[in-house]
Amino acid sequence: MTASVRTRLVEIVVPVYNEQRVLAESVRRLHAYLSGTFPYGFRITVADNASTDDTWRIATDLSRELSHVHAVHLDAKGRGRALRRVWSASDADVVAYMDVDLSTDLDAFLPLVAPLLSGHSDLAIGSRLSRGANVVRGPKREIISRTYNLLLRSAMGARFSDAQCGFKAARTEIVQALLPAVEDEEWFFDTELLLLAERHGLRIHEVPVDWVDDPDSRVDILRTVLDDLRGMARVTRKTLSGAARIPVPPRVQRAQLPTGMARQLPSFAVIGAVSTLAHLGLFVLLRLVMPAVAANAVALFVTAVANTAANRRFTFGVTGRTGALRHQVQGGVAFLIGLLLSTGGLALLHRLAPGAPAVAEVTAVVVANALATLVRFLLLRTWVFGPRRTKGAGR
Indicate the pairing of strand 41-49 with strand 69-74: parallel
First to last CA, the chain: 5
Count other C-beta atoms under 10 Å from residue 244's C-beta: 6
**Can you list the residues of the chain whose pLDDT is less than 50?**
1-6, 244, 253-255, 390-392, 395
pLDDT score of 6: 46
Nearest to 271 by CA among 307, 240, 300, 301: 307
Identity of the residue numbered 238: K
pLDDT above 90 as % of the chain: 40
pLDDT in the model for residue 259: 58
Q: Which tens digit of pLDDT belongs to each residue from 305-326?
A: 888 888 888 887 888 788 788 8
Q: Which domains does the chain have, with CATH numbers?
A: 9-240 (3.90.550.10), 261-390 (no CATH)
Backbone angles phi, psi at 212, to 5 degrees: -120, 125
Question: According to the model, what pLDDT value does residue 215 have?
Answer: 62
Positions marked active-site: 190
**pLDDT recorded at residue 230:** 83
pLDDT of res. 263: 66
Query: What was the pLDDT predicted at 193?
Result: 94
**Per-residue confidence (pLDDT) for residue 53, from 0 to 100:** 95
Determine the Cα angle at 77 with ends 73 and 80, to 5°: 90
